[in-house]
């Protein structure tokens, strides 16, 4: 088998790659828009990684911190982050890392007024679904329980897609044909 070494083979002498966008570029655009809309805005990181459920707990803690102490930004606040989390498959449900992050975060911000979290893949696809991600607010858990849905049960089954579909809280963009990782937004009014 003959292999080509792209660093030394002459066939690549005239090949040039230009990166025109990345996750940080997307976060900066979000920052600019949030600022225009009147939010006190902060980019937390473009390197978010780890188990989606654990990252959700951090976002929940930040929401409580903003409500209680005005840190890391004062209200109305928009905290922006990017990267890619992971999901440990425990159940048989349908969903993706963004939907799972938002479902877990919904439980963290339950009842915390004027608080919204969104997480979505910039490619328009999250896991094995047609959704890019999901959105939740302080009433998500209460709305679910009203229709006899237990968020913990859906989370345990990795079935965040079904949870958010029933609440009409999926973010569906169709495939964007680009991918600069995921974007997470926390809004606290």
Give the residue-averaged pLDDT of 1-19. Answer: 71
Domains of the chain: 20-188 (3.40.1480.10)
Distance CA 60, CA 56 (A): 6
Give me the pLDDT at residue 7, please. 61
What is the pTM assigned to this prediction? Answer: 0.90
Residue 164 above 90 pLDDT? yes
With bands split at pLDDT 50, 70 and 90, how would you rate the model's confidence at 62?
very high
* Residue of 186, 187, 183, 188 lying closest to 48 (CA atoms): 183
**What sign does the CA torsion over 37, 73, 44, 82 have?**
negative
Give me the pLDDT at residue 15, please. 83
State residue 152 phi and psi, 5-degree precision.
Answer: -65, -40
Percentage of the chain modeled with pLDDT above 90: 86
pLDDT, tens digit (0-9, with 9 covering 90-100), for 64-111:
999 999 999 999 999 999 999 999 999 999 999 999 999 999 999 999
Give me the pLDDT at residue 10, please. 81
pLDDT, tens digit (0-9, with 9 covering 90-100), for 15-44:
888 878 899 999 999 999 999 999 999 999
Give me the pLDDT at residue 2, please. 52
Give the residue-averaged pLDDT of 141-164. Answer: 98
Give me the pLDDT at residue 3, please. 56
Give me the pLDDT at residue 17, please. 80
pLDDT, tens digit (0-9, with 9 covering 90-100), for 108-141:
999 999 999 999 999 999 998 999 999 999 999 9
Give me the pLDDT at residue 78, please. 98
* Residue of 75, 100, 80, 73 lying closest to 88 (CA atoms): 100
Mean confidence (pLDDT) of the chain: 94
Give me the pLDDT at residue 166, please. 98
Distance CA 120, CA 96 (A): 10
40-48 and 77-83 beta bridge pairing: parallel
State residue 46 phi and psi, 5-degree precision.
Answer: -105, 15
DSSP 33-83: HHHHTT-EEEEEEEEE-SBHHHHHHHHHHHHHHHHHH--SSPSSEEEEEEE
In 10 A of CB 28, how many CB atoms?
14
């Amino acid at each position: 088998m003959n292999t080509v070494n792209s660093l030394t083979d002459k066939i690549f002498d005239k090949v040039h790659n230009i990166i025109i966008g990345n996750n940080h570029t997307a976060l900066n655009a979000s920052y600019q828009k949030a600022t225009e809309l009147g939010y006190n805005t902060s980019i937390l990181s473009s390197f978010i990684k780890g188990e989606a459920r654990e990252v959700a707990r951090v976002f929940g803690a930040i929401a409580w911190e903003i409500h209680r102490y005005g840190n890391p930004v004062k209200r109305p606040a928009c905290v922006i982050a990017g990267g890619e989390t992971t999901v440990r498959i425990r159940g048989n449900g349908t969903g993706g890392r963004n939907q799972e992050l938002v479902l877990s975060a919904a439980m963290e911000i339950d009842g915390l007024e004027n608080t919204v979290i969104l997480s979505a893949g910039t490619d328009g696809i999250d896991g094995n679904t047609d959704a890019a991600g999901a959105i939740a607010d302080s009433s998500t858990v209460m709305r679910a329980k009203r229709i006899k849905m237990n968020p913990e049960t859906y989370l345990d089954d990795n079935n965040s897609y079904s949870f958010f579909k029933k609440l009409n809280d999926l973010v569906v963009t169709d495939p964007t044909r680009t991918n600069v990782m995921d974007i997470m937004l926390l809004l606290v009014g």
